[in-house]
Amino acid sequence: MQEYTNHSDTTFALRNISFRVPGRTLLHPLSLTFPAGKVTGLIGHNGSGKSTLLKMLGRHQPPSEGEILLDAQPLESWSSKAFARKVAYLPQQLPPAEGMTVRELVAIGRYPWHGALGRFGAADREKGRGSYLAGWLKTAGASAGR
């Protein structure tokens, strides 16, 4: 286990975080930092906690124990809007978008973006519903085409 070190340029810092479900520990206590401006790869076997860690960083799953900091502030102290301005997160499994048009889906993003909408006809973008869209179109809508 790596000892936590405070770096002023650190974007994310994890302090002894773990994640458990009844009867099983999915992520053992872990402390590490993700420096700003650096690319970090997560490598591990199936079930080793990679997706769980990303869900915790994206605020989709709170840790069972420990603390996650973003720019030296506890993750839970960030408003949704401020967090979205700092962190872009596109999960492996997209949340359901039934009943939502592509325009509505893109509009809830960090920076509502309309560039991808120009690639489709008026019927596609105005009346297209998330539950009927192909998987790639849902992903393009969720990522605003980026």
pLDDT digits 0-9 by tens, 100-140: 777 777 666 655 555 555 555 555 555 555 544 555 555 55
Quote the CA–CA distance of 69 and 87 in Å, as a whole number. Answer: 13
Quote the CA–CA distance of 145 and 120 in Å, as a whole number. Answer: 12
Q: Are 30 and 18 in contact (CB under 8 A)?
A: yes
Region 21-34 average pLDDT: 92
Quote the CA–CA distance of 100 and 82 in Å, as a whole number. Answer: 24
Q: Can you count the helices (H) and strands (E) in the chain?
A: 5, 4
Residue ranges covered by each domain of the chain: 10-86, 102-142
Name the token pair of 61. Answer: 């799953």
Quote the CA–CA distance of 49 and 64 in Å, as a whole number. Answer: 13
Of 7-11, 66-70, 140-144, the poorest mean pLDDT is in: 140-144
Q: How confident is the model at residue 1 (pLDDT cuts 50, 70, 90)?
A: very low
Nearest residue to 15 via CA among 84, 93, 90, 75: 75
- Looking at this protein, which amino acid is placed at residue 34? F
Q: How confident is the model at residue 10 (pLDDT cuts 50, 70, 90)?
A: low
Task: For 10-86, give the CATH class.
Answer: alpha beta
Region 16-39 average pLDDT: 92
Residue corresponding to tokens 């506890």:
74
pLDDT value at 34 more than 50: yes
pLDDT digits 0-9 by tens, 53-102: 999 999 989 999 999 999 999 999 999 888 888 887 777 777 677 787 77
pLDDT value at 9 more than 90: no
